[in-house]
């Protein structure tokens, strides 16, 4: 790996390039140095030297290696952001920051809430939520910002459904989640809505502690109590994590997917002609955009041999699903969007290993429902601005587009 004159390795994180640039190569991908290897050295924001894992096989290996720890309290855990702006202040992350055996215990508490069966049962409610949002979109006029009208509210309302937020409280919830996702909200302005949301979740859980009903939080409370592990604040943090993990990710995928489909009208037409194609199309959109790129961080707790290099104990690393998902050893013509791609399910957009996204099947259903319903009900949908008029979240933790002006 080439070092710069100052002796430092290339920096990470780096911005992404426009996903629809005329030269398809590496569109939408992080601007990394050419010729880098599957395992290479980078300089992290705090100046520490870390490792970047970009090859598909190496990403799978490292995310299943017990020597790669998720615990933020292990020395050398990579600091990817200088300050924690939109996250809970001074708070140990719950399950995302745990290693086995603690991780296993807590993951098992949650698995049953996110099974294929349970999420399928939620599908009719998700359909209703999407239908209502599209009703409002259509009523508001022949133009709209799809991000504000559909991409932001749908996942937020689905999470309300999941957490058992009473209907009358949803506007309160929505206003605050909307502020958090608004790119114009400064870090300072984001603190109040965040504190209010966590405060709300805290009260919600207190209510359910008294009377745990048959919803996710109620069942979680009962399960933790039965295991003798109940801790109020841990449940609050878990609920806040689910909100955090399931809102902006799905929201950004909705907008980017609509944009991609509008940019590939031939493929869109084929997709709409046969609903059975939608699941594979959703997988391809997940692969192509790989919106979550800065969170698969680990620290080695023992030396790890990987890709011909040695990651030493105490060194931090980041696994990049975006580049792994464009690995030409795994995906043919990886920089092209192919909604019927055969090998698509090998993608790592949801990560890999024991921390693989808990909500992945919920994300899949939300995307399937939104995309099928939107194009069925708004067949004349088109972009209302040229591509060059769009602003992408190319330096954000979760990749996306700020606004998506559409018309019909």
Partner 1 sequence: MRITVDRERCIGAGQCVLTDPEIFDQSEEDGRVLLHTAHPPQEAAAAVRRAIQFCPSNALALTDG
- The one segment of 43-51, 71-79, 343-351, 385-393 that binds partner 1 by CB under 8 A: 343-351
What is the per-residue binding string for partner 1 in 360-399, x denoting contact by CB under 8 A? xx--------------------------------------
Do 220 and 110 contact (CB within 8 A), yes or no?
Answer: yes
Stretch that binds partner 1, among 110-118, 121-129, 367-375, 381-389 (CB under 8 A): 110-118
Q: Angle, to 10 degrees, between the axis of helix 360-377 and the axis of helix 265-273?
A: 100
CA 30 – CA 323 distance, rounded (Å): 8
Q: Of these, 5, 23, 75, 117, which contacts partner 1 (CB under 8 A)?
A: 117
Over the window 54 to 93, marking each residue x when it contacts partner 1 by CB under 8 A and - when it does not, the resulting string is: ----------x-----------------------------
- In the complex with partner 1, the residue whose CB is nearer, 11 or 66, is 66
Q: Nearest distance from residue 359's CB to partner 1, in Å?
A: 11
For partner 1, the closer of residues 64 and 310 by Cβ is 64
| DSSP string for 15-29 | PBPPTT-SS-TTTTS
CA separation for the pair 127, 146 (Å, rounded): 17
Residue 336 CB, nearest approach to partner 1 (Å): 22
* Minimum CB–partner distance for residue 346 and partner 1 (Å): 7
Measured between alpha carbons, how far is 318 from 32 in angstroms, rounded to an integer? 13
- Rule CB under 8 A: choose which of 72, 79, 81, 114 binds partner 1: 114
Closest to partner 1 by CB, 86 vs 107, is 107
* CB nearer partner 1, residue 112 or residue 332: 112
d(CA 319, CA 327): 13
Q: Does 108 bind partner 1 (CB under 8 A)?
A: yes
Contact between 219 and partner 1 by CB under 8 A: the answer reads no
CB closer to partner 1, 58 vs 197:
58
- Residue 15 or 100: which CB sits closer to partner 1? 100
Is residue 356 near partner 1 by the rule CB under 8 A? yes
266: tokens are 């031939």
User: Which one, 23 or 276, has the nearer CB to partner 1?
Assistant: 276
Coil/strand/helix, residue 142: coil
Distance between CA atoms of residues 45 and 90, nearest Å: 19
Question: Cβ–Cβ contacts within 10 Å for residue 330, how many?
Answer: 18
- To partner 1, the closest distance from the beta carbon of 286 in angstroms equals 13
Cis? peptide before 101, omega within 30° of 0: yes
Does residue number 332 form part of the binding site for partner 1 (CB under 8 A)?
no
CB under 8 Å to 142, separation ≥6 — which residues? 407, 408
Place of tokens 């855990």: 77
Q: How far is the CB of 111 from partner 1 (least distance, A)?
A: 3
> For partner 1, which residue of 116, 121, 192, 227 counts as binding (CB under 8 A)?
116
Residues 6 or more apart in contact with residue 395 via CB below 8 angstroms: 13, 15, 16
- Cβ proximity to partner 1: between 79 and 361 the closer is 361
Cα end-to-end distance, the chain, whole Å: 50
For residue 342, the minimal CB distance to partner 1 (Å) is 11
Stretches 14-22, 29-37, 115-123, 148-156: which one binds partner 1 (CB under 8 A)?
A: 115-123
Q: Phi and psi of 248, rounded to 5°?
A: -65, -35
To partner 1, the closest distance from the beta carbon of 350 in angstroms equals: 8
Provide the strand spans (E) within 168-302. 297-300
Does residue 181 contact residue 402 with C-beta atoms inside 8 Å?
A: no
Nearer to partner 1 by Cβ, of 326 and 355: the residue is 355
Q: Which of residues 255-314 bind partner 1 (CB under 8 A)?
A: none
Establish how many alpha carbons lie within 13 A of residue 145's alpha carbon, considering only the half-sphere containing its beta carbon. 11
Closest approach of partner 1 to the CB of residue 296, in Å: 12
HEC profile for 192-216? HHHHHHHHHHHHHHHHHHHCCCCCH
CB of 116 to partner 1, least distance (A): 4
- 157 and 172 in contact (C-beta within 8 Å)? no
Contact positions vs partner 1 (CB under 8 A): 64, 107-108, 111-117, 345-346, 351-354, 356, 360-361
């Amino acid at each position: 790996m080439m070092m710069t004159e100052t002796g430092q390795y290339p920096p990470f994180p780096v911005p992404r390039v426009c996903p629809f640039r005329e030269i398809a190569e590496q569109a939408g991908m992080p601007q990394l140095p050419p010729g880098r290897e599957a395992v290479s050295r980078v300089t992290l924001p705090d100046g520490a030297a870390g490792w970047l894992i970009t090859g598909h096989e190496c990403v799978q290996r490292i995310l299943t290696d017990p020597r790669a720890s998720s615990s933020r309290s292990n020395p050398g855990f990579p600091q990817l952001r200088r300050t924690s702006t939109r996250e809970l202040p001074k708070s140990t992350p719950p399950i995302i920051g745990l290693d086995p055996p603690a991780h296993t215990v807590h993951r098992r508490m949650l698995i049953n809430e996110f099974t294929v069966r349970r999420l399928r049962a939620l599908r009719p409610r998700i359909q209703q939520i999407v239908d209502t949002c599209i009703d409002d979109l259509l009523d508001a006029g022949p133009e709209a910002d799809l991000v504000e009208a559909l991409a932001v509210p749908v996942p937020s309302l689905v999470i309300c459904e999941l957490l058992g937020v009473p209907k009358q409280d949803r506007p309160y919830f929505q206003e605050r989640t909307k502020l958090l996702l608004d790119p114009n909200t400064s870090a300072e302005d984001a603190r109040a809505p965040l504190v209010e949301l966590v405060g709300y979740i805290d009260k919600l859980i207190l209510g359910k502690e008294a009377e745990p009903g048959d919803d996710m939080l109620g069942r979680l409370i009962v399960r933790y109590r039965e295991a003798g592990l109940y801790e109020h604040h841990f449940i609050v943090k878990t609920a806040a994590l689910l909100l955090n993990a399931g809102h902006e990710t799905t929201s950004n995928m909705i907008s980017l997917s609509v944009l991609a489909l509008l940019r590939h009208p031939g493929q869109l037409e084929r997709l709409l002609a046969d609903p059975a194609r939608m699941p594979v199309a959703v997988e391809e959109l997940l692969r192509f955009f790989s919106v979550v790129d800065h969170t698969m961080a680990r620290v080695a707790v023992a030396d790890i041999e990987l890709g011909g290099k040695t990651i030493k104990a105490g060194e931090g690393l980041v696994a990049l699903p975006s580049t792994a998902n464009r690995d030409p050893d795994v995906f043919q013509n990886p920089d092209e969007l192919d909604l019927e791609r055969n090998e698509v399910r090998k993608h790592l957009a949801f990560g890999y290993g024991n921390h693989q996204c808990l909500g992945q099947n919920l994300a899949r259903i939300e995307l399937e429902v939104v995309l099928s319903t939107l194009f069925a009900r708004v067949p004349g949908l088109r972009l209302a601005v040229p591509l060059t008029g769009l602003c992408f979240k190319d330096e954000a933790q979760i990749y996306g587009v700020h606004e998506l002006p559409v018309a019909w």
